[in-house]
Structure 1
Amino acid sequence: MKRNLRILAAILPLLLAACVPAVRVKGDAGLLDAQAMREQALAHADHWTLEGRLGVSDGKTGGSGSFSWTQNGEQYEFVLRGPAISGMNFRLSGGPDGASLEGLNGGPLHGSDAELLMHKALGWEVPLRDLRAWVLGLRADSGEAELSFGTNRLPSLLQQDGWTVDYRKWDESRQPPLPVVVFAGKSPYKVRLSIESWHFN
């Protein structure tokens, strides 16, 4: 019972955020130019750590947990604590030379591609390469993207590679601003990120 209350407490802010209607406008030349400037300013931001809460669902099962994500150039480490995906803690790390997934039954798994490794181990389709850009509020370089903007003139909705990325809240005290509540979905998968801290090295 206590565990269920803790999970509810963790995801309640995300559920409440989902109920707030968003005002969105298509990007005009001014909004798109401002976004291009944000993307240029963050183009080389590849040494950072973020921490927060993660909620996931595959349309049948789901859960939540705390996470940390450290990016050092092409090297990364993603640590999940809680039952969100695998029912246990796990650590995904790697870079251009391959990826390792630790914390699952049967011992560590290794592969040449992190996305394929996650799919093989957990059955999850996770757009890790695109997420690296999306979590910064940027368009990924994987293909065409469609943007809508909120009343704060920041991206509100990003559609790319079949995924819809919904930016629910931004930290506008930073320059350039950074997302702090992000929903991403591609049926049947849904991912919710509530970012509690950003640190740039």
Structure 2
Amino acid sequence: MRRLLLGAAAGLLLAACAQAPVRKPADAAALAAQDAREQQLAGIDQWTLEGHLAVSDGHDGGSGSLRWIQDGERYDFELRAPITGKSFRLSGGPDGAVLEGVEGGPLRGPDAETLMRKALGWEVPLVDLRAWVWGLRAAGAPAELRFGERDLPSLLMQDGWAVDYRAWDLEHQPPLPQKVFASRPPYKVKLSIDSWSIR
């Protein structure tokens, strides 16, 4: 997977250098708006996200096109590198996870996070990321929020990660994130979302 991910992260890295958005502390109005968003989105568990993902561990990194299908507790996460055309696929659910497209694969593990850590050395909080891509606080841990325009989250800090929201799709109601940058040094995950499909 390291070979797969090496290469074409330039576009997303340049986007990361763009001017930082306005951030204001949470006030009662912003928190009420966030609570309303979370209630509206809480029941949605069947969706597809398509876009581009860039990852880095401070030494290696790269990017690829991403298709993420969520069907209740089951997920199918496919990343394709633009230069090599190779891809890896992470799929699973409550009964475990399978990673395909890596040397010696397919590999199996009890859950996605454990499998990624064991196979690749990556610390990617996929359970939390499932909430963060929606601009929601993940369950089970305290979260701190900063807000930008329209009282939408600009920065979410949770489980040691800083999740930076750089753009929102305002055509959806409630609005959905378009650019999500999560970091916990030395790890960085940058997600640029092209489309959402909600079933």
Is the CA contact (8 Å cut-off) linking 1:143 and 1:161 kept in structure 2? yes
CA displacement, residues 48-73 of structure 1 (integer Å, 9 cap, x when unaligned): 00100111110011101101000000
1:104 corresponds to which residue? 102
Equivalent residue, structure 1, for 2:3: none
Q: Which residue of 1 aligns with 2:133?
A: 135
Q: Secondary structure at the match of 1:7?
A: coil
Equivalenced residues, count? 192
Please show how residues 71-90 of structure 1 align to structure 2 within 5 Å: 71-82=70-81, 88-90=86-88
Query: Which segments of 5 or more consecutive residues in structure 1 lack a partner in the other structure?
Result: 1-5
CA–CA distance in structure 1, aligned partners of residues 177 and 192 of structure 2: 9
Could you tell me how far 1:13 is from its partner in structure 2?
5.2
Supply the AA of the counterpart residue of 2:133: V
Runs of 4+ in structure 1 deviating by more than 4 angstroms, as ranges, are none
* Alignment check: 8 A CA contact 2:65 2:82 kept: no
Partner of 1:26: 25
Aligned to 1:3: none
Contact 2:12 2:54 in 1 (8 A): no
Q: Which TM-score applies when normalising by structure 1?
A: 0.91
Counterpart position of 1:116 = 114
Contact 1:130 1:142 in 2 (8 A): no
Deviation at 1:7, TM superposition (A): 2.2
Identity of aligned residues (%): 62
- 1:172 pairs with one of 157, 167, 170: 170
Distance 2:49 2:123 in 1: 22
Per the alignment, residue 181 of structure 1 pairs with 179
Partner deviation per Cα, 1:162-193 (whole Å, 9 max, x = no partner): 00000000001110000010100001000100
Q: 1:126 matched to which residue of 2?
A: 124
Structure 2: 5+ residue stretches without partners: 1-6
1:137 Cα shift? 0.5
Q: 2:17 and 2:180 mapped to 1: Cα distance? A: 10
Aligned residue runs from structure 1 range 5-20, under 5 A: 7=8, 11-12=10-11, 14-20=13-19
Contact 1:142–1:161 under 8 Å retained in 2? no
- Confirm or deny: 8 A CA contact 1:47 1:72 kept in the other structure: yes
Alignment of structure 1 residues 29-40 onto 2, 5 Å:
29-40=28-39
Across the aligned residues of Structure 1 and Structure 2, the Cα RMSD in angstroms comes to 1.7
Equivalent in the alignment of 1:49: 48
State which of 178, 191, 194 in structure 1 corresponds to 2:192: 194
User: Is contact 1:14-1:194 (8 Å) kept?
Assistant: no
The equivalent residue for 1:162 is 160
